[in-house]
């Protein structure tokens, strides 16, 4: 994969740190807009789906030896969990296979969550 192709992947497909924060902000805005429904259900944990997947699959991914960090805060009886990026995750990805698989996963998630196909 050449520089131009890598740049295109990086610019168009790989989610950026700002986009990850935007997902969290959108999620919290939804909670504020639907406060009554949220408080009625009163979940014990609140997190994005990707973080839940990371927590649940960690015991089965030991051969990847991937570091991850987690932030937590408790408010009104619910524990809010957030992924904290490590320095390795902040740096751009250089492995072409990881770039391609990240792109596939990101595009699949966009397709599944889209209102129209």
Residues whose CB falls within 8 Å of the CB of residue 23, separated by 6 or more in sequence, listed in order: 48
pTM of the model: 0.56
pLDDT the model gives residue 74: 92
Q: What is the pLDDT of residues 9-22, one digit of tens each?
A: 666 655 555 555 67
Q: Tell me the mean pLDDT in the region 83-94.
A: 68
Cα separations in angstroms, 56 against 43, 50, 59, 61, 106? 18, 10, 7, 10, 20
Encoded tokens for 86: 């490590």
Per the DSSP assignment, residues forming a β-bridge with 32 are none
Q: Do the Cβ atoms of 108 and 95 come closer than 8 Å?
A: no
Residues whose CB falls within 8 Å of the CB of residue 74, separated by 6 or more in sequence, listed in order: 80
pLDDT at residue 63 above 60?
yes
């Amino acid at each position: 994969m050449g520089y131009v192709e890598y740049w295109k992947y990086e610019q168009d497909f790989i989610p950026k740190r700002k986009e990850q924060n935007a997902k969290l902000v959108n999620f919290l805005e939804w909670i504020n807009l639907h406060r009554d429904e949220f408080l009625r259900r009163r979940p014990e944990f609140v997190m994005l789906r990707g973080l839940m997947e990371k927590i649940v699959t960690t015991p089965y991914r030991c051969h990847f030896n991937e570091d991850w960090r987690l932030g937590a805060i408790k408010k009104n009886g619910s524990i809010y969990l957030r992924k904290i990026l490590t320095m390795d995750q902040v740096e751009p990805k250089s492995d072409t296979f990881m770039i391609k698989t990240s792109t596939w996963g990101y595009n699949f998630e966009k397709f599944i969550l889209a209102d129209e196909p």
